[in-house]
Amino acid sequence: MKKHATKLIVLALIFMTAGTTAALRAQETEQPRFRLGVYFEGAMLNDENLTSFFGHSQRNLFGFEASVHVLYNIDVWGSYRIYTDKTKTTLYEQEDKFRLNMASLGLVYRPIVWNRIEPFVGAGFEFYSYSEKVEGADLPDTSGNAFGFHVQGGTYVHIFKFLSGKVFFRYNGVKKTLTDPLPDGTNELDLGGKEFGAGLVFRF
């Protein structure tokens, strides 16, 4: 009796696995291969030395993204955006410009694919390059690179077969150890932070 029940359970598991795999493969064939998008976001850096000096806790910027569907509901995803800020020095009122090039590369998983709504989660790596320059000052420019990670979540909202809206939230963890201390006494530049926004994605 036990052997018979075990055989039935094994057969049921085999059929369930085969059915799930077939459903995923059928779903995969219906999905677009590529996605290209543009978005508008609010970006908030963690480092209080930067935000207090330049006077902005949040900057609004445009970003670009691209992804390729690789397996079932998993995409390889990449993004690029530029964070800039500026202020004037207190003594000579020279313009101090800060620029942060932000590139992301990771995986996005879409657990549920509905007709209109397609939520997603993702994780990956962050590659940053930063620079600071004081116009007209006899000072060396400051520049460097930093590396970290990100996690994100959001949803696609399908408008047409080839076009979707998108809302998202992303958290970045990116830190850079400096040789010289910052104004608050630390020697760690915290370029990580939060990003949230919306955009349009073309699917084909």
Strand partners, 121: 109, 153
The H or E element containing residue 97 is: strand 95-109
Residues 4 and 89 in one domain: no
pLDDT at residue 9 tops 60: no
* Residues 15 and 71 grouped into a single domain: no
Residues 39 and 52 in one domain: yes
Co-location of 13 and 80 in the same domain: no
Entry pTM: 0.83
Number of domains in the chain: 2
Q: Domain containing 44: what range?
A: 33-203
CA Rg, the chain, in Å? 23
Contact status, residue 82 vs residue 43, Cβ threshold 8 Å: no
- CATH number of the domain at 158, please: 2.40.160.20
Q: Of 147-151, 177-181, 188-192, where does mean pLDDT reach its minimum?
A: 177-181
Whether residue 102 sits in one domain with residue 123: yes
Smallest Cα–Cα separation from 44: which of 85, 86, 16, 94? 85
pLDDT confidence tier of residue 113, bands split at 50, 70 and 90: confident
Do residue 61 and residue 44 come from a single domain? yes
**Phi and psi angles of residue 56, each rounded to the nearest 5 degrees, phi first:** -135, 125
Same domain, 92 and 188: yes
- Please indicate, yes or no, whether residues 10 and 37 belong to a single structural domain of this protein: no
* Averaged confidence pLDDT in the chain: 87
Distance CA 148, CA 41 (A): 20
